[in-house]
Chain A
Amino acid sequence: MNALMPHFIVERPGVLSLIQDAGRFGQTHLGLTQGGPADRFSFNWCHNLLGNAHTCSAIEVVIGGLKLISQSHTIGCVTGAETPVTVNGKATPMWHTFEINIGDVIEFGFATQGLRSYFSVCGGFDIAPEFGSCSTVVREKIGGLSGDALKQGDQLPVIVDTDNPMPQSEINAIAPEFIPRFESSVTLRVVLGYQHDWFSDLDIRRFFSSRYEISSQFDRMGYRLQGTKITANKTQMLSEGITLGAIQIPADGQPIILLNDRQTIGGYPKIGSVLSLDLDKLSQCKQGDYVHFEAISIEQAHNILHIDQHQQSLIQIVKKAYK
């Protein structure tokens, strides 16, 4: 890379920091999964505040610990899990754009509420797409820089918009009442589907009236839960396509909710799928947090999505002048 090209240097990658854009679509015929931000709301609002398209890239910072040194003059923003973020040692608010100068040190502490935060800059990072996306899927060794999570010494080029070379002159912030709270107990709305008729009415009632705990096995592939066992009355099935949020019930009767980095096909019975909006909340949960399920119809799900789209259009961006 040209030394003069604006970029960020990864001084410390933290627990797990991944380049993500909106996701990789149309590649399942090769067995490539979707990737993309686990908490889409926080990711999208990081870009909204920066004036970026949702197709731009950001860093998904899992738990925290990321430290970056800027070699560019730009505007940045952090959204998602409540995480102490400092610029040159001085705390900077989240859900709030801030100016970044050459030589600035941006440091993430560890999330106090939630699990994943998102950091991006004006225009996003300039990472070459693989199969239409720069989203990192570590298991597939695809996306990001050489298919891996960020490592110490990595250099992240920044896209420079030559038509608009100076960063915005105002700070953009989301009105505080619209900042999501990340709870350690979440209710997930579920559209019954797939093999739901392989489960008895009693087991379906058990499923929707039980509290499940998130086990130690939770990542971008899926969240394995522990709680009331439910059993499909058949086990033999042919592998089939798995959609985002599908709830798999393997032979041990413990649900697994499949997320962005799931395998594209699989052969376990599925009771249905979690509403996409609620996956944002789930992906901010960790081991020991609790999950409840609530059944909704597909028509209700569509209504909720349309209402959400409208509500998001009402979220106010507060503009403030720089001091």
Chain B
Amino acid sequence: MTKYSQQEQQNMNLVADFMQSIRVVPASESAIILYIDQPLTDTLAEQLQSIADGVLSLANTSEIEIVSSYASLLINYNPLKTDHFAIKQMLFQAIKSMFSDNSHTDYSQQTDQKLVELPVYYSDTTGPDLARIATHHKLSVEEVIQIHQQQTYRVFAIGFAPGFGYMGQVDPQIAMPRLATPRALVPKGAVAIADRQTAVYPAASPGGWNIIGQCPILMFNPNVEPSMPFKVGDSVRFKAIDQDTFFAMGGEQ
């Protein structure tokens, strides 16, 4: 019988526990999706990132495409070259190595997550929903602005539009459901809240989130590399700026 070291045994137990929390199902003839049934924490975001990186390092990256979101990884593959069994195998191997790379308590160090600070001009004109959120939660507008800046947010997903990052979790004290009727036009740079998520609109578009301020930084610039100030897994903090700074940084109202 094979003897395992205490470390190996411990890793196997961790993998076994983790496997209890996941599900892998087909999404189409050319995609499978991994679900991790865990609360939305930094650990979950780091695990998703680590598994995605692991699969990409095992696969031929030109034939695989991963869409990472809150608690799932969609893996698209070329069914003429491989199949769902092979991709699942890679997925399980990536999970195993996540726990065995002698860093199972601190796998965040494998990735290059960063902390991004985004300036926001919070005001009545740039944040038309500030007063409503304040009234709803029996807070002052200043308190809403303060609470929004206190949290460090995690970028859980990027989608909806190029450069649109879904960030969480917003403090329940200022969480706010989406507008019943979405606005026909949300300005570029609008900083907004929907339930416990916050985001910056990268371009003018229709939208139903509650607008609390405006950010002068471009969220998506196709002409520079990198095109976005953050990626999935990064941390974001918001910092209040005044009107002059907003305009000086290139903000437009």
Chain A residues with Cβ below 8 Å from B163 are: 30-31
B152-163: CB near A (< 8 Å → 1, else 0) gives: 000001111111
Q: How far is the CA of A273 from the CA of B40 in the complex (A)?
A: 27
Residue of B nearest to A131 (CB): B222
B27–A28 touching, CB < 8 Å: no
Residue of A nearest to B73 (CB): A241
A residues 237-278 near B (Cβ < 8 Å) are: 238-246, 263-266, 270, 272-276
Residue of B nearest to A191 (CB): B29
Q: How many Å from the CB of A284 to the closest CB on chain B?
A: 20
A306–B67 touching, CB < 8 Å: no
Please indicate which of the listed interface residues B70, B71, B162, B228 has the most CB atoms of chain A within 10 Å of its own CB. B162
B65–A26 touching, CB < 8 Å: yes
Q: How many Å from the CB of B115 to the closest CB on chain A?
A: 19
B residues 45-81 near A (Cβ < 8 Å) are: 61-62, 65-74, 76, 79-80
B28–A265 touching, CB < 8 Å: no
- Interface majority SS on A: helix, strand, loop or mixed? mixed
B188-199: CB near A (< 8 Å → 1, else 0) gives: 000000000000
Residues of chain B at interface, number, CB under 8 A:
43
B159–A239 touching, CB < 8 Å: yes
B25 is an interface residue with CB less than 8 A from chain A:
yes
A299-321: CB near B (< 8 Å → 1, else 0) gives: 00110011001000000000000
A31–B162 touching, CB < 8 Å: yes
Please indicate which of the listed interface residues A141, A240, A244, A272 has the most CB atoms of chain B within 10 Å of its own CB. A240
A29–B28 touching, CB < 8 Å: no
Given A25-B65, A140-B162, the answer on whether A30 and B28 have CB atoms closer than 8 Å is no
B222 CB contact (under 8 Å) in A25, A142, A239, A306: A142
A241–B28 touching, CB < 8 Å: no
Residues of chain A at interface, number, CB under 8 A:
42
A194 CB contact (under 8 Å) in B25, B70, B79, B161: B25
Chain A residues with Cβ below 8 Å from B76 are: 243
A239–B69 touching, CB < 8 Å: yes
B69 CB contact (under 8 Å) in A192, A241, A272: A241
Q: How many Å from the CB of B225 to the closest CB on chain A?
A: 11
B28 CB contact (under 8 Å) in A31, A131, A139, A273: A273
Chain B residues with Cβ below 8 Å from A246 are: 27-28
B162 CB contact (under 8 Å) in A26, A32, A245: A32
Q: How far is the CA of A301 from the CA of B27 in the complex (A)?
A: 12
B227 is an interface residue with CB less than 8 A from chain A:
yes
B167 is an interface residue with CB less than 8 A from chain A:
no
B166 is an interface residue with CB less than 8 A from chain A:
yes
Chain A residues with Cβ below 8 Å from B62 are: 26
A5 is an interface residue with CB less than 8 A from chain B:
no
List the 4 closest A-B pairs by CB distance, nearest first: A241-B74, A241-B67, A273-B28, A265-B159
Question: Could you write out 14 A-B pairs with CB less than 8 Å apart?
Answer: A31-B160, A31-B162, A238-B40, A238-B72, A239-B69, A239-B159, A246-B27, A264-B159, A265-B157, A265-B159, A272-B28, A273-B31, A305-B29, A305-B79
Q: A30-B158, A272-B28 are in contact. List 10 more A-B contacts (CB 8 A).
A: A30-B163, A30-B220, A140-B162, A141-B203, A240-B71, A241-B27, A243-B31, A243-B76, A245-B28, A275-B29
